[in-house]
């Protein structure tokens, strides 16, 4: 099968299209013919080995251990292991692979545990479906599980126009929140069209200094010290950080525990939990058109390196998709 191989750590130029052996499914796995995949920050980090400790994880110290990147997928089941009960050959599915599996979706085929996928939403193309799983579930778990989001609450999403942020805006609206979206000038209209009640251009206004306070802040990108976020939170508000610089994550992790113990405000660093139930919940939101994926661009598998250059240089609106079929 054809696959994009990450030959060493480095710029997107290390990604090369090669012919590799197609694997067979284990007893509890399905073999999926991939039609589309999408890029997440996680793939970029494993390619660049940034931050450095990626090399200490299953990534491999001197060179990537998992040579095929990619977590999100949409495709068709080609074969099933003998213990698989949920799927049969021909089913159209979507989902994402936990990073521990050591497998990647920038390829024509992948084997996945049957719990990593569910049936593809019937109203989406494969390209649209592949743009959803990891980003949408990060947004869902950040808002609902860490943030305990309730209808009517005031929520601010910092980093609202990227992969996670575009889903966070829509999911927060679907939960009945009043949503303030923070992004740059060029994306204000897009996040408004996704349902944001208020938009803030981070290039012109610092939301931590404008006197507004929120029940929940989801920081898809840190970009402020935790003290600024706490300043913009109500006294019983919750701050959830999903992404940002290593310093911001460590600071939020260490100070967050102390803040949360003090009784009033709470602060958490989100850690994605793999959940087929959440994937099914997201599927329902998609089929009822409460959320839609935002796809910035779509590249053929052979141009995956180009797609990563775009991902790295531009802040994509929503997701960058790789079309494999
Ligand atoms: N914790 C977890 O379990 C988990 C799971 C998945 C992902 N993540 C993390 O979540 C993050 C999500 O990545 P993503 O692909 O959605 O988006 P991203 O590329 O990290 O962020 C894009 C967003 O940040 C905004 N932004 C850029 N510079 C900014 C600044 N100086 N101030 C405020 N906002 C700024 C962008 O706005 P403009 O484009 O309008 O400039 C855009 O809305 C990544 O860091 C990823 O590692 C965490």
**Pocket of ligand 1 contains residue 133 by CB under 6 Å:** no
Which of 269-288 are b and which e, b meaning 16 or more Cβ less than 10 Å from the residue's Cβ? bbebebeeebbebbbebbee
Instruction: Let me know the angle formed at the C-alpha of 235 by 233 and 240, rounded to the nearest 5 degrees.
Output: 45
* Residue of minimum CA distance from atom 4 in ligand 1: 242
> Can you point out the beta strands (E) in 228-289?
233-241, 266-269
**Pocket of ligand 1 contains residue 223 by CB under 6 Å:** yes
pLDDT in tens, 183-205: 999 999 999 999 999 999 999 99
114 to 19, 80, 218, 276: CA distances (angstroms): 26, 9, 31, 9
* Cis ω before 51 (30° cut-off from 0): yes
With CA atoms as reference, report the closest residue to 46 among 94, 75, 17, 5: 5
* Residue of minimum CA distance from atom 10 in ligand 1: 243
CA pair distance 176, 190, nearest whole angstrom: 20
Give pLDDT, residue 257: 74
Q: For residue 173, how far is its CA from the centre of ligand 1 (angstroms)? A: 19
Angle at which helices 163-174 and 133-140 cross, to 10°: 50
Which residue from 182, 200, 295, 315 has its CB within 8 A of the most atoms of ligand 1, so it is best to mutate? 315
Atom of ligand 1 nearest to the CA of 186: 40
Give pLDDT, residue 58: 66
* Residue of minimum CA distance from atom 26 in ligand 1: 159
pLDDT in tens, 27-49: 999 999 999 999 999 999 999 99
The pLDDT tens digits along the chain (325 residues) read 999 999 999 999 999 999 999 989 999 999 999 999 999 999 999 999 988 878 887 668 888 888 999 999 999 999 999 999 999 999 999 999 987 677 899 999 999 999 999 999 999 999 999 999 999 999 999 999 999 999 999 999 999 999 999 999 999 999 999 999 999 999 999 999 999 999 999 999 999 999 999 999 999 987 888 889 999 999 999 999 999 888 888 888 888 777 777 778 999 999 999 999 999 999 999 999 999 999 999 999 999 999 999 999 998 999 999 999 8
Angle at which helices 163-174 and 276-287 cross, to 10°: 70
Give pLDDT, residue 202: 95
């Amino acid at each position: 099968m054809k696959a994009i191989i990450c030959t060493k750590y480095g710029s997107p130029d290390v990604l090369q299209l090669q012919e590799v052996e197609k694997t067979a499914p284990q007893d509890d796995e399905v073999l999926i013919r991939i039609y589309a995949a999408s890029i997440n920050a996680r793939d970029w980090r494993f390619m660049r080995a940034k931050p450095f400790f990626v090399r200490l994880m299953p990534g491999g110290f001197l060179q990537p251990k998992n040579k095929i990147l990619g977590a999100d997928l949409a495709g068709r089941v080609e074969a099933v292991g003998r213990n698989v009960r949920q799927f049969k050959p021909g089913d159209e599915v979507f989902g994402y692979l936990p990073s521990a599996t050591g497998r990647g979706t920038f390829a024509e085929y992948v084997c996945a545990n049957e719990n990593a996928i569910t049936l593809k939403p019937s109203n989406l193309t494969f390209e649209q479906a592949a743009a959803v799983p990891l980003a949408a579930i990060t947004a869902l778990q950040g808002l609902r599980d860490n943030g305990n989001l309730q209808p009517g609450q005031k929520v601010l999403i910092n980093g609202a126009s990227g992969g996670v942020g575009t889903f966070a805006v829509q999911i927060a609206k679907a939960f009945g929140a009043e949503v303030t979206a923070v992004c740059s000038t060029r994306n204000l209209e897009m996040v408004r069209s996704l349902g944001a009640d208020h938009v803030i251009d981070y290039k012109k206004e610092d939301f931590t200094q404008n006197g507004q306070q929120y029940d929940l802040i989801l920081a898809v990108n840190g970009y402020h010290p935790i003290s600024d976020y706490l300043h913009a939170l109500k006294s019983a508000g919750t701050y959830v950080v999903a992404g940002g610089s290593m310093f911001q994550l460590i600071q939020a992790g260490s100070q967050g525990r102390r803040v949360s113990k003090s009784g009033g405000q709470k602060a958490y660093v989100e850690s994605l939990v793999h959940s087929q139930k959440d994937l099914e919940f997201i599927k329902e939101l998609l089929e009822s058109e409460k959320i839609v994926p935002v796809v910035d661009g779509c590249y053929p598998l052979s141009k995956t390196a180009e797609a990563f250059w775009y991902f790295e240089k531009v802040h994509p609106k929503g997701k960058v998709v790789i079309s494999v079929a």
